[in-house]
Copies of this chain bind each other. A is one copy, B any other.
């Protein structure tokens, strides 16, 4: 079926027909810089801040959107509040009632809010002040998140000494992540294993991914956003407050072998999962060694070396329950300069 799709697309048949019948076909062709067996790397020119997402084109977006035939929308965001589980290296946060109707009335610091000044309806408002990390809840890690080397460089060789700053980073910050609109594929590893969630520290292997894809009868074609399910998000609940429950499966994830297979053999455009860090923790010694010694070698490989963005804490529970394995993935980050990750996002899977 997939093979036929490729054939039909190549044969020049009209896009409309191909899309209706063979939605995944268009992504197989036309990668600009991806090389099987190598992936990407710093191939987009010395000023590039976008990485693999440069592969997106009008054609690839249109093809992805054609997967959304039913108008079904799956919200992949996990709601965040002050009690939510987060990686302990990130700052805690508070969402605080800033202006409240009673406070506005009592403070009387804004003349236009008083009845004497025409506000007979007692119009007032709520707003919130947030102190928050750019790395909480449902995230997309930007290419400037991780650095390596004594020169502290990130993707494409941007160095701290050149592009750091007081207000976040000045190259490859989150505003450079384009809206992501691509074919998405769920790989339900926990589902394939008939588990609620993977055990703590479980390394997802290439074999696991292949088995799940086979069971789901879907494939990762070049340009696909891959969402890998460990089952962790089922313990998030209202706000991720049960840290003990979450922290176990949260350490399950892919190792370097699976990451390389997805990027270099399959052309995955972006990798995401339902955990805080995508990769298995602690890292396997050979994975750490492969990047020169690191506590998160998959991050180094994807973000720094390949220019592939990472999605974290994506809620994949409803997709899995509905057995939706192929869809249009649509995600936008916030547009906040200097920040390194889209935070508390709500990516969509459209079917």
Contacts and interface: CB of A to CB of B under 8 A. Distances in A.
A312 to B, nearest CB: 13
Contact of A62 (B70, B110, B152, B333): B70
Contact of A81 (B60, B292, B338): B338
A145 interface: yes
A247 interface: no
Contact of A127 (B81, B133, B161, B330): B133
A25 B148 CA distance: 53
Interface string A135-170: 101100000111111101010000011111111111
Given A79-B175, A167-B107, A168-B97, A127 B341 contact: yes
A211 interface: no
A12 interface: no
Which residue among A115, A163, A350 has the maximum number of chain B CB atoms within 10 Å of its CB?
A: A350
Given A96-B167, A128-B340, 18 more contacts: A58-B71, A92-B92, A94-B98, A95-B336, A97-B165, A101-B160, A103-B166, A106-B162, A106-B164, A107-B167, A112-B295, A121-B149, A126-B164, A126-B169, A128-B168, A129-B129, A179-B346, A334-B334
Nearest to A177: B346
Contacts of A288: 118
A70 B99 contact: no
A335 interface: yes
A102 interface: yes
A20 B80 CA distance: 39
A204 interface: no
A348 interface: yes
A340 B97 CA distance: 10
Contacts of A221: none
Contacts of A33: none
A234 interface: no
23 contacts: A20-B20, A61-B350, A62-B69, A65-B350, A73-B178, A77-B334, A97-B168, A102-B160, A102-B164, A106-B161, A106-B165, A118-B294, A121-B294, A121-B300, A123-B296, A126-B169, A127-B340, A132-B336, A181-B350, A330-B330, A333-B346, A334-B345, A336-B344
Contacts of A346: 179, 332-335
Contacts of A59: 71
Interface residues of A, number: 117
A154 to B, nearest CB: 8
Interface string A60-93: 1111110011111101011111100000011110
B129 A96 contact: yes
A150 to B, nearest CB: 6
Contacts of A98: 90-91, 94, 96, 133, 166
A320 interface: no
Contacts of A61: 68, 71-73, 350
Given A125-B147, A152-B101, A132 B132 contact: yes
A152 B124 contact: yes
Which residue among A113, A179, A345 has the maximum number of chain B CB atoms within 10 Å of its CB?
A: A179
Given A145-B126, A149-B121, A294-B121, A57 B71 contact: yes
A23 to B, nearest CB: 11
